[in-house]
Amino acid sequence: MATSLSTAGPVQAATAAPAAVSDPAALVNPFVGTGSGGAVVGQVDTFPGADLPFGMIQWSPDTTSRPDGGGYSYDDSAISGFSLTHLSGPGCAVAGDFPILPLTGAVPANPDSASASFSHSTETAHPGSYAVTAGGVNTQLAVTARTGVAQFTYPATNQAQLLVKVADSANGGSSATFQTIGDQEITGAVTSGHFCGQPDSYTVYFAARFNRPFTASGTWGGTSAAQLAKNPGATSVTEQGKQNPQAKRYGDGHAASPNASASASEAGQQGSGVVAGGWLTFDTTHNANVGMQVAVSYVSTQGALSNLNAEAHSWSVSSVAAKAADVWNHQLRTIAIHGGSATAQSEFYTALYHASLEPSLFNDANGQYIGFDEKVHSVRPGHSQYANYSGWDIYRSEVPLLATIDPSIAADMAASLLNDAAQGGALPKWPVANGESGVMNGDAADPILADTYAFGAKGFDASSALADMVSGANGTSGVVQGWYVERPNAAAYIADGYVPNIASDSISPVPNGASETLEYALDDFSISRLAQDLHQSSTAATFTRRSQN
C-alpha cells in the first residue's frame, strides 16, 4: 500500500507535478534523536546503528554515557561496544545485549569497562548500515532481519582483540555464558530485563562465526567487577547470579514503583548481577581485515545458529548494506512525497524511519518463538511474532499509521498481542521480549487492537481480541507471570466509575487515579468501537456507557 503526499504548492495546469522522491532511504538521518530529548526531557534514547524495519537485530554503538534504550549519545567521544539489540525511545534502560568491542594491544584488566575513542568525522550511518573508526579500528556493520555482518579493519598487529561483553546488557545480566567453538565460532547467552525496575526478564542467545581463525582466546567472569577474574586460554565461562539488582530509575528521576505486590517488587531488586565475557585475538600483521557474521535468537543457541545459517550468506558488508537499503526503500515508499525542500524531505523520511523500528520481530527464521508461558511456539506460515510494544506511547499515532501503510504487518502485531494473552493469561501493556513490565497506566492493548482494526488492518482474529479486551476490562483475566494484572484497579473503576486518586501503580511516582480513570475510559471506548464493528451491539452499548465515566 502506498500513500502520496505533496509538500508543494498548487500546481498550475501547464506545470508538471514534481517527481516523487526515488531514494527515500538516502534522505534518512539516523543521528536525529541521539543528541537530546526523546521520551523524557533531557534523555537521549534512539540509536544510529544498523537495523531493518521491525528487525530482530539492531547492531549499534553504545557510547560511554549509555543513555536508555538507544545506548548512544552524540555528545560522547568514546564507544564501549557495538551491542546487538536496542530499542528506540524508551524511558528506562533496556536491551543493549552483547556489546562487542574491537581493540588493539593487551586485553584490558577489566574488559567490561573498556572503551575506544572516536570522532564523528569518521562516522557514517544509513538505514541498515553503520561505520566508524574507534580506537584505531575501522568497524563496518550491516544487517538482515536476524543477522549482522561486520568487517573490522585493524592496524598491523599480533594483538588485534575483539571483546564480547556477554553480561553487559543495558540493565546488566543475572546470568551469562560464553563459549568458543574451535577457532572460528563463538556462542553465548544472557538473562536480563527488569525494565524500569520491574520483575520481568528475558534470555537472548547469539551465535557468531569469523572468516578467519583467531590465534588465541580467553574469558573473564565474576559476580562483580571487583571480583572479576581473567582466564587466558579458557574456552567457556558461565556466571549465574540472582535477580538483577539494577532497578534503574525511571526517566523523570523518580524511582520505579511497580504496580505489583511488595514481593514482586523485591524480586526485581534482590541479589547481584554478574560479569562475564570472552576475548578473541587475531594476527593482522599481513591481513588487516576480520569478518564476522552474527545472529540472535530468544529461543536457544541452536535457534541463533539456525538464523545464522538461514540469513548470513555474505561476508561483504557493502553487499548486505545495499540489500538493507533496498528493504528500507520498500518500507519508506509506502508514503511517496513530492516537492518541498531537501530538509523537509529528510525530516519526513527520518520520522517515518523511526516509526518503523519497533515493535520488533521475535520469531526465528524457522517460525519458532518463546512465549509468555516460557514454552516454544511456532507462528503460522507467512506470519511473524512481534515483541517490545511501548503501548501507551504508540496507540495514538504509530499504530494507526502502521495499520494504514503496513496492514499485514500491523495485523501480525495485533495477533502477537493475542498470542501473548493466550500464553500468559492477559493482554500486555508494555511487553519486553516475552515478559510483561506493567509500565504506564491504562490498558494500552485495547486502543492498539481497536485502532489496528479501524484503520484497515483486519488480518487478525478480531472476535478473540474483543473477548480478551472485555475480560481485561472486567477484571476477569489472569495474572501474568505471577504478578502482572491487566487493570489493577478494575474493581474500583467498575464500582465507582473512577479510580480513587489515593495510590500509585504502573511505576507512577505519585498517585495516578485521575489519569488512570481517563485511560480506562478511553480503553472502554475502544472496546465499544470494536464491538460495534463486529456487530456485538450489547457489548458496544455497555462499554460506550462505561467510557463516559
Q: Exposure of 119 by Cβ count < 10 A (0-12 exposed, 13-18 middle, 19+ buried)?
A: exposed
Tally the domains of the chain.
2
Predicted pLDDT at 447: 98
Which of 41-45, 73-77, 406-410 is predicted most confidently?
406-410
Q: Is 336 within the bounds of a domain? A: no
- pLDDT of 38 above 60: no
100 vs 242, which has greater pLDDT? 100
Do 453 and 313 reside in the same domain of the chain?
no
11 vs 104, which has greater pLDDT? 104
Do 313 and 425 reside in the same domain of the chain?
no
Q: Is 460 within the bounds of a domain? A: yes
Q: Exposure of 397 by Cβ count < 10 A (0-12 exposed, 13-18 middle, 19+ buried)?
A: exposed
Do 258 and 131 reside in the same domain of the chain?
yes
Domain boundary residue among 327, 343, 365?
327
Predicted pLDDT at 4: 62
The predicted model gives 44-49 an average pLDDT of 86
Predicted pLDDT at 430: 96
Q: Is 353 within the bounds of a domain? A: no
pLDDT in tens, 142-191: 999 999 999 999 999 999 999 999 999 999 999 999 999 999 999 999 99
Predicted pLDDT at 41: 42
Those residues whose C-beta lies under 8 Å from the C-beta of residue 257, and which sit 6 or more positions away, are 265, 504, 505, 507, 508, 509
pLDDT in tens, 398-451: 999 999 999 999 999 999 999 999 999 999 999 999 999 999 999 999 999 999
Residue 68: count of CB within 10 angstroms of its CB: 27
Do 296 and 399 reside in the same domain of the chain?
no
Coil, strand, or helix at residue 6?
Answer: strand
Do 422 and 275 reside in the same domain of the chain?
no
Residue 498's CATH number:
1.20.1050.60
Predicted pLDDT at 549: 80
Predicted pLDDT at 261: 32
The predicted model gives 279-301 an average pLDDT of 98
Q: Is 58 within the bounds of a domain? A: yes
- pLDDT of 245 above 50: no
Confidence of residue 226 (pLDDT cuts 50, 70, 90): confident
- pLDDT of 63 above 90: yes
Q: Is 348 within the bounds of a domain? A: no
For 92-96, 239-243, 378-382, which range has the lowest pLDDT when averaged over its residues? 239-243
Cα gap 366→311, rounded to integer Å: 11
Predicted pLDDT at 539: 98
Q: Is 172 within the bounds of a domain? A: yes
Predicted pLDDT at 1: 60
- pLDDT of 367 above 70: yes
pLDDT in tens, 298-348: 999 999 999 999 999 999 999 999 999 999 999 999 999 999 999 999 999
Domain boundary residue among 288, 308, 327?
327
By DSSP bridging, strand 129-134 and strand 124-126 are antiparallel
- And the C-alpha cell for 285? 600483521
For residue 442, give its domain range.
389-547
- pLDDT of 37 above 60: no
Predicted pLDDT at 228: 85
Do 135 and 238 reside in the same domain of the chain?
yes
Confidence of residue 265 (pLDDT cuts 50, 70, 90): very low
Residue 274's CATH number:
2.70.98.10
The predicted model gives 124-149 an average pLDDT of 98
123 vs 255, which has greater pLDDT? 123
> Does the CA dihedral 269-39-358-32 come out positive or negative?
negative
Do 426 and 528 reside in the same domain of the chain?
yes
Do 238 and 147 reside in the same domain of the chain?
yes
What is the pLDDT of the chain when averaged over all its residues? 91
Do 322 and 204 reside in the same domain of the chain?
yes
Cα gap 66→61, rounded to integer Å: 9
Q: Give the DSSP H/E element, type plus range, for residue 530.
A: helix 513-533
Cross-strand bridge partners of residue 132:
139
Cα gap 103→281, rounded to integer Å: 10
Domain boundary residue among 301, 327, 353?
327
Query: What single letter denotes the amino acid at residue 452?
Result: T
Cα gap 312→289, rounded to integer Å: 18
Cα gap 306→527, rounded to integer Å: 41
Confidence of residue 246 (pLDDT cuts 50, 70, 90): very low
Do 394 and 314 reside in the same domain of the chain?
no
Q: Is 383 within the bounds of a domain? A: no
Q: Is 338 within the bounds of a domain? A: no
The predicted model gives 460-477 an average pLDDT of 97
Query: What single letter denotes the amino acid at residue 348?
Result: F
Do 321 and 400 reside in the same domain of the chain?
no
Do 182 and 292 reside in the same domain of the chain?
yes
